Amino acid sequence: MSDAHLVKQALRAVLSGQQRTAADRHRPAWHLAPPVGLMNDPNGFIQFNGRYTLCYQWNPLACAHGAKFWGQWSSADLVQWRHEPLALAPSESYESHGCYSGSAVDNHGELTLIYTGNVKFDGGRTAWQCLAVQDEHGEFRKLGPVLPLPEGYTGHVRDPKVWQHNGSWYMVLAAQDLQLQGKILLLISPDLHSWTLLGEMAGSGLNGLGEFGYMWECPDLFRLDDREILLTCPQGLEADGWRYRNTFQSGYFCGTLDYDTAKLSHGEFHELDLGFEFYAPQSCLSDDGRRLLIGWMGLPDADEFYQPTLNHGWIHTMTCPRELTLSGDRVIQRPARELQQLRQHETQLKGIAGNLPALDVDSAELHVSIDGSFSASFADALNLHVDRHGLTLGRKNLRTGEQEERHWGGEVRTLQILCDRSSVEIFINDGEAVLSSRYFPDAQPHLRFSGSAQISLSHWRLRQCVIE
């Protein structure tokens, strides 16, 4: 299909469906969500010419996974966003089954996308790593494939993340070897067009790691302080107590990269987010030197198609933008400071948890200091419990109706909770841990406390952020 035909079909889907999606009471007030259809991975996250660009995997034609487009937003401040021209549509033979995930770079003043062209055929699949360059109208001109499927790997090779180091371009690329083990490849290029494979930088069975999943999706490599952080999403890990409870995991290794040998010496794998919905995060470096991150508040191959927003023609949101710092070998995540612009009508409360009034959490932020044990209910649809063992989050599974839980173990001193109609993001102890989850209350959501803990809290209503 031609690019023009696909763009017309996407436009028709948006025009015919936007009134229906806008009427959904579960639609976020300030998180990013697709106009219609299905959205998943954040892509091409960059600050370019002083303005943030965030692309996203998108199927505008249905609430289903399929041949993905790239939608595109931009923002001056991470708060107020506007829709930009559709970045990519899967119109070419080398991307016939989707423009899969990738990244963006500033190449001598040209905003350049690097993405995976996904191709499926009878009995198999292949993948091309492709380039597209933004023109003066804000649209992207495709330059086509620059890297074919490397030898020694299955067709599951995707999600390039590219950066510059010492005058050369480097790429981390998700791959599956012929023994069906997940790997991260490191490649080098002088110009983004000609790429050389340096080796397997990390993966299942490497660097002292045992068997650790059949595919490592969505890699991202960056420096915090004097360490390299490798983000990746291993698939195929078995649950281990409270660890690895989601269908697929998302986390990081902290270590040191030897660019000459293409090896990352690293410690253990840490999950980035312990909530029910978090996957495929991507980072960018801001002009003021902060490492920012946005993730998909969803999961592939889980229970996503039982979410009630499908009845209104859309599904999934992004997380809030987060600032990353390093403490020892652990990544600390805090909501981006720009989000404080959303705050309105502060209320301060102090007392025993069970004596506190119910709080409106339709679109709200809470800062909570805790001494003791308590429970809290978000509209009887999502339940939080804190005691000396840590924090537990529970809800009923949308598919089975059975109770499911996620847990962080440790002393809970403070909570920062961001609420947005059908999502909750809980930051523990100033970013020591995070739990992000969707939930779907039947009515205007209120938070009700119970228990004997002494609690001091601040509550803000958050204003709606209109996407232009």
Residue 4: the pLDDT is: 87
Contact 27, 21 (CB under 8 A): yes
The single residue of 41, 159, 177, 220 carrying the catalytic annotation is: 41
Residue 196: the pLDDT is: 98
Contact 389, 431 (CB under 8 A): no
Per-residue confidence in pLDDT tens, the chain, 468 aa: 788 899 899 999 999 999 999 999 999 999 999 999 999 999 999 999 999 999 999 999 999 998 999 999 999 999 999 999 999 999 999 999 999 999 999 999 999 999 999 999 988 999 999 999 999 988 999 999 999 999 999 999 999 999 999 999 999 999 999 999 999 999 999 999 999 999 999 999 999 999 999 999 999 999 999 999 999 999 999 999 999 999 999 999 999 999 999 999 999 999 999 999 999 999 999 999 999 999 999 999 889 999 999 999 999 999 999 999 999 999 999 999 999 999 999 999 999 999 999 999 999 999 999 999 999 999 999 999 999 999 999 999 999 999 999 999 999 999 999 999 999 999 999 999 999 999 999 989 999 999 999 999 999 999 998 677
Residue 443: the pLDDT is: 87
Question: How far apart are alpha carbons 287 and 422 in whole angstroms?
Answer: 32
- Regarding the domain with residue range 3-335, which homologous superfamily does it belong to in the CATH classification? Glycosyl hydrolase domain; family 43 (2.115.10.20)
Identical topology for domains 3-335 and 338-462: no
With residue 391 as reference, give the H or E element that holds it. Answer: strand 390-396
What CATH number has the domain spanning 338-462? 2.60.120.560
Instruction: Give residues with Cβ within 8 angstroms of 92, minimum separation 6.
Output: 117, 142, 144
Question: How far apart are alpha carbons 73 and 358 in whole angstroms?
Answer: 36
Q: How many CB atoms neighbour CB 4 within 10 A?
A: 10
Residue 221: the pLDDT is: 98
Q: Does residue 24 carry a catalytic annotation?
A: no
Question: How far apart are alpha carbons 458 and 369 in whole angstroms?
Answer: 9
Contact 336, 321 (CB under 8 A): yes
Please give the radius of gyration of the chain, using alpha carbons only, rounded to the nearest integer.
Answer: 22
Q: How many CB atoms neighbour CB 411 within 10 A?
A: 13
Spans of all domains in the chain: 3-335, 338-462
Residue 61: the pLDDT is: 96
* Average pLDDT, rounded, for the chain: 96
- pLDDT digit string, tens, across residues 286-317: 999 999 999 999 999 889 999 999 999 999 99
Longest dimension (CA), the chain: 65
Contact 184, 263 (CB under 8 A): no
Question: How far apart are alpha carbons 370 and 356 in whole angstroms?
Answer: 13
Question: How far apart are alpha carbons 57 and 46 in whole angstroms?
Answer: 16
Residue 123: the pLDDT is: 82
Number of H helices, E strands in the chain: 1, 35
